[in-house]
Structure 1
């Protein structure tokens, strides 16, 4: 098991091993059953959200490059149309934690869609080799990811149960950065909630890494087309507080008064991930409450 303290995966001195033996099998559909073994804590007791009263399933739809993009969908039972939330995973893809977050959103009245951004190369969810996971994630470049978001928006707009005029986006870690990027690109989005996504290059990042990570959220404040709520941890070793402060200042300079960033005292990276050692139940619950209030006012409203 890897203690994940950075959005894009660990550095060499972050690695810690667990004695837990993990069995994560494939389901009959597009996604694995269970949680990503690379980060599953030995004593994890994840939140589980039942699917009663919901319609859930796996779908595929065409991306701009012709790839059949898999996605998990959870929505309230019934005709709708329901407001939509695109759910962007961490580096582990669409495993049970992400699917459960979709069901939580569906219980709150949203149609949640979680695309599998990494599956062109390989599904990272069942893997334990962090080096391979990082390679898979690195292959998902900005234009591909934005194309997948666009494909998800297009597909949702064609579903009778979805209200394509009321759309939000949320994501964790790697997906938190994608939230900022998507909200600067797509005018159809009404709101975004970014959970501890990297905002600027690491201070020791090599030029190639800085270039590969562009556009960085700290440079996108002027381009945001909807309000974004950022949820960050004070003790996040991968996202230092100076970068969070720089993002706050960028939002202020850009006049983005509808956007905000909340920093949780002593919270580490991944504090919402209830299957990891980094989980902080009180902060996770408060962040989820804020997410629902933010979306209820701007996406449902």
Structure 2
């Protein structure tokens, strides 16, 4: 029977998605890869690419979890502006080594593959066209997938970096079942006027937060000044929300990104320790 005769709207064909598989290696715009790059093996893990059903088709994702046992507490890992490339996959494996099911869904799957683009094109051609509502829905789909694939989503956390750091705050306002979030240098206020695709920023959603968020930021981040962090702190205090911030002295943006020159070992390691403590404190364990 044809689509026209059924009266149903069929899911979007996969070929209409810009990405049906994840990019390999590191994004072009982050090259060359630094000597400090951390590589986590998959020994004792089940790790690799999976397909997540979404309302209009499927999107690719990387997931890692312990090989035996389960179900495991679940952490959504939200990509930097560079998409789900090797660094984000490695973060998933690091979390799996700690006993989590970690899953990173490709948030730009419909809009484009950023792995071969330079920064200016990443922003103008892809990222600027990604709706927040789409991201929230796709993260929900990742949770559904995890629940069916050895994840304990009653113990749900989220962490994200850069572009994904902002998404952590948004998702904490979106999902009432989230236990906790850890946002690494995610934008807190709008760079300009709100628009149809990104109608609100974290500071606009403070009263709607449903889970505590730990914000990890750098004092020398030229894109997210300390005054933005202070504004967010004040709004959270007024709304009586149990969120916390750590601002690392002299740390720039992307201080956790061990494959880039921005990496700072001490704050990165301290932040990773605090992430683990935050999730445990808030029931993601």
Normalising by structure 2, we get a TM-score of 0.89
How many residues are treated as equivalent by the alignment?
A: 265
Q: Do the aligned residues in 2 keep the contact of 1:183 with 1:225 (CA within 8 Å)? A: yes
Shift of 1:142: 0.8
Query: 1:253 and 2:242 equivalent?
Result: no
Q: 2:208 aligns with which of 219, 223, 228?
A: 223
Distance in 2 separating the partners of 1:292 and 1:236:
23
Q: 1:53 aligns with which of 39, 44, 49?
A: 44
Matched residue SS, 2:199: coil
Q: 2:160 maps to which residue?
A: 171
Distance in 2 separating the partners of 1:42 and 1:81:
35
Q: 1:162 aligns with which of 148, 151, 156?
A: 151
Q: 1:128 aligns with which of 109, 113, 117?
A: 117
Aligned pairs (5 A) from 1:202-281:
202=191, 205=192, 207=193, 212-257=197-242, 259-281=243-265
- Structure 2: unaligned runs, 5 residues or longer: 1-19
Q: Do the aligned residues in 1 keep the contact of 2:54 with 2:138 (CA within 8 Å)? A: yes
Q: Do the aligned residues in 1 keep the contact of 2:179 with 2:284 (CA within 8 Å)? A: no
Matched residue SS, 1:117: coil
Query: Structure 1's 248 and 30: CA in aligned 2 closer, same or farther, altered over 3 A?
Result: same
Q: 2:24 maps to which residue?
A: 33
Query: 1:282 and 2:266 equivalent?
Result: yes
Matched residue SS, 2:30: coil
Q: Do the aligned residues in 2 keep the contact of 1:88 with 1:171 (CA within 8 Å)? A: yes
Matched residue SS, 1:299: coil
Distance in 1 separating the partners of 2:188 and 2:284:
27
Distance in 2 separating the partners of 1:42 and 1:189:
34
- Structure 1: unaligned runs, 5 residues or longer: 1-28
Q: 4+ runs of 1 displaced by more than 4 Å?
A: 209-212
Distance in 2 separating the partners of 1:41 and 1:267:
21
Q: Do the aligned residues in 2 keep the contact of 1:201 with 1:210 (CA within 8 Å)? A: no
Distance in 1 separating the partners of 2:245 and 2:269:
16
Q: 1:15 maps to which residue?
A: none
Distance in 2 separating the partners of 1:288 and 1:77:
23
Normalising by structure 1, we get a TM-score of 0.84
Q: Do the aligned residues in 2 keep the contact of 1:41 with 1:277 (CA within 8 Å)? A: no
Aligned pairs (5 A) from 1:135-146:
135-146=125-136
Q: Do the aligned residues in 1 keep the contact of 2:34 with 2:258 (CA within 8 Å)? A: no
Matched residue SS, 2:75: strand
Query: Structure 1's 223 and 131: CA in aligned 2 closer, same or farther, altered over 3 A?
Result: same
Matched residue SS, 1:180: helix
